[in-house]
Amino acid sequence: MADDTGKLKKGNFMEALESIRGEAEAMKGRRDLPPDVRKGLDRIIALTRARFDLGGDIE
């Protein structure tokens, strides 16, 4: 898998969460994953769907 960490703006928390969730959702589509890995991906997806209150404008 190619390293795409350079695509995110420094300090952009919400974009990072979207990227993590997208990768986890894409990986979950693989049929060769063991059940414990699938459960871990499910937890990552659920946790990154949570809403965060960052206290308004942080810039």
CB 22 within 8 A of CB 1: no
Question: And the tokens for 53?
Answer: 């209150």
> For the segment 5-18, what is each residue's pLDDT rounded down to a tens digit?
666 555 677 788 88
Which residue ranges make up each domain of the chain? 12-48
Higher pLDDT: 14 or 35? It is 35
Higher pLDDT: 23 or 59? It is 23
Closest listed residue to residue 26, CA positions, set 51, 45, 12, 47: 45
How far is it, in rounded angstroms, from Cα 44 to Cα 47? 5
Q: Given a cut of 70, is residue 38 above it in pLDDT?
A: yes
The model's confidence at residue 50, banded by pLDDT at 50, 70 and 90, is confident
pTM of the full structure: 0.64
Q: Which amino acid type is present at position 19?
A: S
How far is it, in rounded angstroms, from Cα 14 to Cα 36? 27
Q: Given a cut of 80, is residue 57 above it in pLDDT?
A: no
